[in-house]
Amino acid sequence: MTINLGMFAMPVHAPGKDYQQSLREDQECVILADQLGFTEFYMGEHHTSGIETVTSPLIFFASIARLTKNIRLGSGVLNLPQMHPISVASNVAMLDQMTDGRFIFGGGPGTLVTDVEAFGSVPMDVRGRMVKESMDFVKKLWTSEPPIELKGEFWTIKIKDKVIPKFRVGWMPKPKQQPHPPFALTMVSPNSSTARAAGAEGWIPISANFVNRRYLRGHWESYAEGCESVGRKADPSTWRVARCCLVTESDAEAEDYIADPDNGISFYYSFMRHIAEVGRGALYMLKPDLDMTDEEATVDKIVPSQVIYGSRKTVLEKLVALREEIGHFGTLIMTAHDWDRPAMWRRSMEMMAQDVIPQFSEHVRDSVPA
């Protein structure tokens, strides 16, 4: 039994960092991941953030489509309420062709508060329904030929009256993967309705990296409930678990980095803490202990409880403990942080791919009854 290794980038870069440098580093990160045998890489989408600097994962991945060979490239996520399903279907199909069928279609409601405001503030429950309708429409557009008529709660699509069969005017581009690329949803909230929906639809479940590990088991249980609701047995090997990880040559090196209040991980969690408290009213999801007050839930308390860090031996032990706590999963998704120390972060990826994950896979094989 093999544990796969993937990576997710929001991405979050240091304030004021040169925009082109940030994009170059993100591209280098994906190319390195491909070379090291990572199986997938997810990129976020944010339009109104000076530190989350990728506005379109589709454009980003198109820029490196021919510079990668094997790694699957996933949107993490496309903010579907902010796009028309026609644009989603046609652009994703083109990228899937450009990557020779390596795209994973991750969709979501969009949660960056200024993006939501900029595109028109829509309640979260409505955005959730928009995600479901968009994904359904995209699938129908990929598997249908004109004439096409789709009418939903939020969008009406008609490709009928102006179709010119001789010149294939009215035909939507189709993805390389048939009938379509795999769909994925990110699970965040406890008792996640998103997880149940993913299970019912047969979509890839991804547990978010920025929630406390105590919620991860609930993600899987909700996903399994969704599978059972349609008579499908839940397969733990499909479960992606995202965690912030740092592998260093020694425990001391990792501890020194984590202790630095100006490091990239601390900035990441200061940002996530602020968003959780002010933007979502959900600081509890980051708290190491639910009994602590908001004031006590400081970044220096949150980071050690959220990040898997240390030497190769220590990180392996922490991954084994994580699996014992939450159950089996098929893919570990590392978080890509700002390369404030480029050599350290590249080396971290190398040691995780070449040493830690192979040993973790061996442990999993040995622990599963024959």
Provide the strand spans (E) within the chain: 4-9, 40-43, 72-75, 78-79, 103-108, 148-151, 156-159, 183-187, 204-207, 240-247, 307-310, 331-335
Can you tell me the distance from the alpha carbon of 323 to that of 240, in angstroms, rounded to the nearest whole number?
A: 12
The predicted pLDDT at position 280 comes to 78
**Complete domains list, the chain, with CATH:** 4-244+331-359 (3.20.20.30)
Is the pLDDT confidence value at 173 over 80? yes
The predicted pLDDT at position 370 comes to 54
Sign of CA dihedral 26, 28, 31, 34: negative
Concatenated DSSP letters of 80-99: GGGS-HHHHHHHHHHHHHHT
Is the pLDDT confidence value at 109 over 60? yes
Can you tell me the distance from the alpha carbon of 208 to that of 198, in angstroms, rounded to the nearest whole number?
A: 14
The predicted pLDDT at position 191 comes to 82
Task: Say whether pTM exceeds 0.95.
Answer: yes
The predicted pLDDT at position 78 comes to 97
The predicted pLDDT at position 189 comes to 85
The predicted pLDDT at position 37 comes to 98
Mean pLDDT, residues 74-96: 98
Concatenated DSSP letters of 250-284: SHHHHHHHHH-TTSHHHHHHHHHHHIIIIISS-GG
The predicted pLDDT at position 369 comes to 64
Task: Check residue 352 and report its DSSP letter.
Answer: I
Q: Which pLDDT tens digit goes with each residue over 16-37? A: 999 999 999 999 999 999 999 9
Q: Which pLDDT tens digit goes with each residue over 270-325? A: 999 999 998 778 999 999 999 999 999 999 999 999 999 999 999 999 999 999 99
Cβ atoms of 216 and 207 closer than 8 Å? yes
Is the pLDDT confidence value at 226 over 60? yes
Residues 6 or more apart whose Cβ sits within 8 Å of residue 3: 329, 330, 331, 332, 357, 360, 361, 364
Secondary structure (3-state) at 164? strand
The predicted pLDDT at position 3 comes to 97
The predicted pLDDT at position 168 comes to 97
Cβ atoms of 226 and 199 closer than 8 Å? yes
Q: Which of 170, 232, 226 is nearest to 200 (CA)?
A: 226
CA 70 to chain centre: 18
Q: Which of 119-128, 253-262, 279-288, 361-370 bottoms out in mean pLDDT, i.e. has the lowest?
A: 361-370
